[in-house]
Amino acid sequence: MLFTSLRLVFPTRAAPSPRRFSDFVRIVEVGPRDGLQNEKALLPTSTKISLINKLSATGLKTIEATSFVSPKWIPQMRDNSEVFTGITKAPGVAYPVLVPNLKGLDAAIASEVREIAVFGAASEAFSMKNINCSIAESIDRFRGVIKRALEHGVRVRGYVSCIAGCPYEGKTEPSMVARVSAAMLEAGCYEISLGDTIGTGTPKTIINVLKEVKSTSFSGDLREFALHCHNTYGQALVNVFAGLDLGVRVFDSSVGGLGGCPYAAGASGNVPTEDLLYLLQEEGLQTGVDLEKIVDIGEWISKEVGRENQSKVGVALTSRKRTEGNG
């Protein structure tokens, strides 16, 4: 029964066929923003700059640098402008920042940001709790932000939260995810990152969501979509695998598994970049990212933050390196 179930979830594994999708996978590193914003210890600006500069030398093409939000709500991002203007911008690397409203956009533009991310939720309750407005009102808000950003030549990526479940409403309807995604695409987002915010999704859930949002895609496939999987229930990598099987080729991750789920005490949050890289490389997919460098950065930043490294691959490879060095 188990193997029958797996064949249903991953049909191409049961019946190999010519590869239909690209062998290249783009990783969006979200550690400096989504990873750090939930850390209680306020890091020095210089450490954040060093983190981004180190990541810029690994082959990553997209690194989410910071968030232009009020320090009242997210103190960790209080130095957003200093961080963004202080990093060394590597050629060919994008450094998007998160903005919640027009005020945040204006501050980002003043810092010469060239790409932003806007966000919405597929849950009415989460939208009200998180940004104090309904889904419909949030759509109106981000439309205005997107319009002004595009007028300034700033690219826009969209985030949809709670694609699998909500801490207040329970399971999320895939049709609601598709509705918010469609609104973001129509407003001008070049890509939509689908976030399993509380990490309750399983491959079946993710597949249902991806099939639903595919109908909103301008390209007729999933090339405008990314997956942002949290590891709260240990399902992040199997959900990534489900996305790969359907053609998703962009995934968000956080070095060292930085971050956490604020709705589950003690739970891990973002899928570690090290673990994601290892999976992709062992599956024969290309990323252009140096796993060894990422592992070293994960060890370093975990110590700087004062927490245990959440990456299984990072811990394993670091331990092996120490053992070999002592041999």
CA dist., res. 196 & res. 202, Å (int): 10
Contact 229, 236 (CB under 8 A): yes
Residue closest to 227 by CA, chosen among 211, 249, 208, 212: 249
**301 - beta bridge partners?**
none
CA dist., res. 145 & res. 149, Å (int): 6
Chain mean position to CA 170: 22
DSSP state letter for 65: -
Would you state the structure tokens that stand for residue 17, as one six-digit string? 């066929």
Taking each continuous run of H as one helix and of E as one strand, the counts in the chain are 13, 11
Would you state the structure tokens that stand for residue 283, as one six-digit string? 């599956």
Contact 304, 65 (CB under 8 A): no
CA dist., res. 250 & res. 198, Å (int): 20
Q: Using the Cα atoms of residue 218, residue 221, residue 226 and residue 227 in order, give the sign of their dihedral.
A: positive
261 is catalytic: yes
Query: What is the end-to-end Cα distance of the chain in Å, rounded?
Result: 45
Using CB atoms within 10 A of its CB, is residue 72 exposed (0-12), middle (13-18) or buried (19+)? exposed
Residue 88 neighbours by CB under 8 Å, 6+ apart = 53, 56
Return the active site residues: 261
